[in-house]
Chain A
């Protein structure tokens, strides 16, 4: 699906990460793995450190901290928010949703609707599209978009193909209605037949609880039914198939070409995937922030705002930049966007608790 929405802007972004620093090499050595092999993997995939949430800290806490810092940085009162959208697949509870909990915690106006979107690595773009719709057509002047997860809690420590990848983070993005007519372009899509490629089997209504059924794959990776299990090969096939064409499509709608676009901002899956996608889309590595994973880990739906801040904060504050981006992952799903972003307010990437 394509849509172009105008008279809105991204006014501010903030990201809060977990506070526990995990070191890829130290963790691998402690698990009895070979140093040289770990170093080769670290270099190719771009793994060094990641930040995971401390015990008891949830995506809601991380997003609440990011929101409070952003509102303070922008000099805004929480009651000025007309709607809150919370993108997460690791909510505090099955009911109520995280958006309602955040609404109460921040003291938002009762006229502000609050709802969740259950999306993962593509989710920030879906949330941005939703926030843009509310500003363009829904009567909202200011929307708070929170996106974040604590996926590190869902992986099995014995699953070397997945466990070293994920960090925990929460983001806050403020989207506002403006007089500016330059549109943001979106291309969103899904491949539900690939739904099994990334999944957590247990914890929903179909399989609420029961035996965990631990299993070991051919490479010795251990997982059970309550773990996030990822078929990396099928996810990579999907990424190669869908992301370059989504980028091409959204750039065509925007009238953008790689040479005249300031930045390509992708879901920070890992350095290998990002450099592959940048090359396929015709962008240089200098145009493509890709260092989030080696500092923070794969942060699910918080990785795109984290890449915007980590790679482009100064230039976005000065803005505007012509930016093309894409989130992709669980669903399987993807969301690409293109448009001018900035000038905007950026709150620095900080840990919680500090």
Chain B
């Protein structure tokens, strides 16, 4: 899947990515925090059948890092 397709899917599920690009630093997103991580985990599980450890999610610095977790 292309990064643009992954991001479009993510935007459907997680509102805080509405205007994000792959370069956007996660820390710059309003509402970035533990709740956002839960929403991402649910998205990864439901749309990609992926379970990603919390430590790998927390190591992501940009939206692109997050998209790279998805094969």
Interface residues of A, Cβ cutoff 8 Å to B: 37, 40-41, 44-45, 160-161, 217-219, 221, 231-234, 236-237, 240-241, 272-273, 276
Question: Per DSSP, are chain B's interface residues mostly helix, strand or loop, or mixed?
Answer: helix
Interface size on B, residues (CB 8 A): 17
Chain B 31-52: CB-based contact to A (< 8 A → 1; otherwise 0): 1111101100110010000011
Distance of A44 Cα from B57 Cα, bound (Å): 20
A-B contact pairs, 25 of them (CB 8 A): A37-B30, A40-B31, A41-B35, A44-B35, A45-B35, A160-B33, A160-B34, A218-B58, A219-B32, A219-B33, A219-B34, A231-B54, A232-B34, A232-B54, A233-B34, A233-B37, A233-B38, A233-B53, A233-B54, A236-B42, A237-B45, A237-B51, A240-B51, A272-B38, A273-B38
Selected contact of A232 from candidates B37, B52, B53, CB within 8 Å: B37
A232 — nearest CB in chain B belongs to which residue? B34
Q: Which residues of B are interface residues toward A (Cβ below 8 A)? A: 30-35, 37-38, 41-42, 45, 51-54, 57-58
A237 to B32, CA, bound (A): 19
CB-nearest residue of chain B to A36: B30
Nearest CB in chain B to that of A218: its residue: B58
Nearest Cβ on chain A to B45's Cβ, whole angstroms? 5
Contact B42 A37 (CB under 8 A): no
Quick one: which of B33, B42, B58 contacts A276, CB cutoff 8 A?
A: B42
CB of A231, distance to nearest CB on chain B (Å): 5
How far apart are the CA atoms of A276 and B35 in the complex, in Å?
A: 14
Closest 9 CB pairs of A and B: A233-B54, A161-B34, A234-B54, A237-B51, A231-B54, A232-B34, A233-B37, A236-B41, A236-B38
